[in-house]
Amino acid sequence: MFEGFALQMIELPEATLRVRHGGSGPPALLLHGHPRTHATWHRVAPLLAAEHTVVCPDLRGFGRSSKPADTPDHAGSSKRAKARDCVALMQRLGFDRFAIVGHDRGAYTAFRAAMDHPDRISHLAVLDAVPILEALERCDARFAQAWWHWFFFGQKSKPERAILADPDAWYSATAEQMGAEAYADYREAIHDPETVHGMIEDYRAGLGIDREHDAEDRRAGRRIECPTLALWSQRDDLEELYGDVLAVWRPWARDLTGHGLDCGHHMAEEVPEALADALRRFLKG
């Protein structure tokens, strides 16, 4: 897994992140979603590494990266805080400007990095996500039924107790789907109480402080300045919920392209070649 990549624990001003990095060329930072670790990219990263320096961290709160201190507003788990980690990490590796790709919860951090640090982000790719503010404002019975976990995870203590009672039953990934090494890494994460809490705090931040940050941007008229690619899984529910996914993103991005991929939610594991090809073409453009 990740042949030719370095694996490091990198201490940053606000967090210590576990990071894989390798390849050469223009830098691309790949951010995982819930409940994954950076290992979800193990089939995509080598395909990009021939043309790019590829960096794959565990986000703070996830995997083996450090866990932020709890605060009433969940600011340490906010996407703004995680975006600061992204900028600091890439600076530590020698890159002042870089492309950023985020899947699922990682897409919210990638989006926030592009909004908060437009001088640092050359390209933004968001996979299987729309802005948190858009999702919450468009919430209806279909969303509540399909994405009920957003609101359950927002409750105090109960989500962690439910998950840790039987993590393998709660999360249904398999070694066949993920690959044996990536699956072992994922299982270590979902069985660790501190990591489960860190992952759930990401959702608590989403319902509060992250939503507020999105709303502040809208009021100020801020938009994503760099080229933006939105990709979504055609066998997941983004099209069912929103119809035209690009129409949801268009008010937020000045230069937007995108399309669906024939796969389920975990596209990096299911269709790595198609995903890598879409990212390569976008990053060249």
Measured between alpha carbons, how far is 166 from 182 in angstroms, rounded to an integer? 20
| Residue 183 buriedness (CB in 10 A; 0-12 / 13-18 / 19+) | middle
| Residue 141 buriedness (CB in 10 A; 0-12 / 13-18 / 19+) | exposed
Give 183-189's long-range contacts (Cβ < 8 A, gap of 24+): 185/37, 185/39, 185/63, 186/35, 186/36, 186/37, 186/39, 186/40, 189/35, 189/36, 189/37, 189/62, 189/63, 189/64
3-state secondary structure at position 228:
strand
Pairing of strands 27-31, 253-261: unpaired
Q: Which helix (H) or strand (E) holds 54?
A: strand 53-57
The catalytic residues are 104, 265
Spell out where 6-52 has E strands.
Answer: 6-11, 16-23, 27-31
Give phi and psi for 55, each to the nearest 5: -125, 125
Measured between alpha carbons, how far is 163 from 184 in angstroms, rounded to an integer? 18
3-state secondary structure at position 122:
strand
3-state secondary structure at position 30:
strand
Only one residue has tokens 């994954």, namely: 36
